[in-house]
Amino acid sequence: MNDSCLLADTAPQDEPLPLAGLLALASAGFITILTEAMPAGLLPQMGVGLGVSQALVGQLVTLYALGSLLAAIPLTLLTRGWRRRPLLLIAIGGFALVNSVTAFSSHYGLTLVARFFAGVFAGLLWALLAGYASRMVAPHLQGRAIAVAMLGAPLALSLGVPAGTLLGTLVGWRTSFAIMTGLTLVLMVWARWQLPDFAGEPASKRLGLHHVLALPGIRPVLWVTFTYVLAHNILYTYIAPLLVPAGIGSGIDRVLLVFGLAALLSLWLVGIWIDRHLRLMTFISCTMFAVAAVLLGLWLSSAIIIYVSVALWGLAFGGLPALLQTALAKSAGNSADAAQSMLVTVWNLGIAGGGLAGGLMLQRGGVVVFPWAVFGLMLLALSATLGKALHRR
């Protein structure tokens, strides 16, 4: 793998980890995930407010994912020459705009449009975060920097979404989105103050998308991303029916809390070792998820095994985004942002595929099929982590 710095103006070797700036990036990720997931926790309230069914409110999440899926690659390629900090501020500011529209709109169609553009801004933001974090530190600290920048995602899933749902119940969903707008504006000031600016990619160094895809290590990382995220979303999307055989269907909040806390622990551990053992930790992550799937497959009716498996699953998954984005950044070199946009696209394909595949399996074979499907997908991911392309890391 290419261990050179991402671009010529990357931070010098002796510069310490710039926590204030990296936490600003993490906060951007937090707001992105919270914006994406909050409608799922406020379906009844938003349905009443917009005068539509809960099923239609659910499409607000679908449109968000579609925006990210369609926009990540073209927007990233279009803006490769832009200076990084203004572009990042535009992406963050977009959330202030779309959340304001969501807060004040009484028209379902307008809200759908706002959610689509929220996804567009999210696709651009996620394509920028890893490369930005990498350029703020010396090469030997890039993995740790990306791990800190990725902290917002598991925090949002484990703590932010439940808190947002509770807030929406207490003060109303419109006020919740308005508060999100206020937090985003504060974040823009923080990011402008704490984040350094970097030049865009010079035109002479820009590779075409097919050339970036052909770089050593890119395709194996994208393959692991797709198989892993597909497996994860088969379970995560249909976690409620998965708990029924063990008689803990009403305890979904506790199960997800276990997952979230384990994911936070995973990210902390990955942050410690990622720069020294990147490939090994990716292998361990895939192996742990495979073991969790086998436990679920053999003892799906045991509540204790469910909790153990979910904890293993969280430990496996929590640090995965940092591992994959670090691997991709190191493989892509100067084309890191273009490569990250591919990861964003493949990630969203995994999310969509997980929902679709899980639904089909639920109808035809029931939840007993899920663990073995996940196990098979993790074997495919493990084959890539053991391949020669990943041995270079």
**41 with 62, same domain?**
yes
**358 with 282, same domain?**
yes
| 12 assigned to some structural domain | no
Per-residue pLDDT for 294 more than 90?
yes
- % of the chain at pLDDT higher than 70: 93
Question: What's the mean pLDDT in 70-92?
Answer: 91
Per-residue pLDDT for 237 more than 80?
no
| 171 assigned to some structural domain | yes
At 257-287, the pLDDT tens digits run 888 889 889 988 988 888 888 889 999 999 9
Among candidate residues 175, 205, 235, the one where a domain is terminated: 205
Q: Is 370 left (phi over 0), alpha (psi -120 to 50) or beta?
A: alpha
How confident is residue 4, by pLDDT bands cut at 50, 70 and 90?
Answer: very low
| 330 assigned to some structural domain | yes
Q: Which of 10-24, 104-118, 145-159, 366-380 has the weakest average pLDDT?
A: 10-24
**224 with 290, same domain?**
yes
Most confident of 232-246, 290-304, 351-365: 290-304
| 2 assigned to some structural domain | no
| 3 assigned to some structural domain | no
- The pLDDT, as a whole number, for residue 387 is 64
**156 with 264, same domain?**
no
| 9 assigned to some structural domain | no
Q: Which residues contact 264 (CB under 8 A, 6 or more apart)?
A: 154, 155, 158, 318
Identify the CATH number of the domain in which residue 148 sits: 1.20.1250.20
Among candidate residues 205, 220, 244, the one where a domain is terminated: 205
Question: What's the mean pLDDT in 104-126?
Answer: 93
Per-residue pLDDT for 213 more than 70?
yes
Question: What's the mean pLDDT in 102-111?
Answer: 93
- The pLDDT, as a whole number, for residue 204 is 64
Pick the more confident residue, 251 or 105.
105
**186 with 230, same domain?**
no
| 6 assigned to some structural domain | no
**159 with 201, same domain?**
yes
**227 with 348, same domain?**
yes
**23 with 155, same domain?**
yes
**232 with 375, same domain?**
yes
**266 with 371, same domain?**
yes
Per-residue pLDDT for 12 more than 70?
no
Domain hosting 86: range is 19-205
Among candidate residues 187, 205, 223, the one where a domain is terminated: 205
Question: What's the mean pLDDT in 45-61?
Answer: 82
Tokens of 157: 């899933």
Per-residue pLDDT for 254 more than 90?
no
Per-residue pLDDT for 244 more than 90?
no
Per-residue pLDDT for 1 more than 60?
no
- For the chain, what is the domain count? 2
**317 with 216, same domain?**
yes
**273 with 158, same domain?**
no
pTM to 2 decimals?
0.80
| 254 assigned to some structural domain | yes
Question: What's the mean pLDDT in 202-218?
Answer: 77
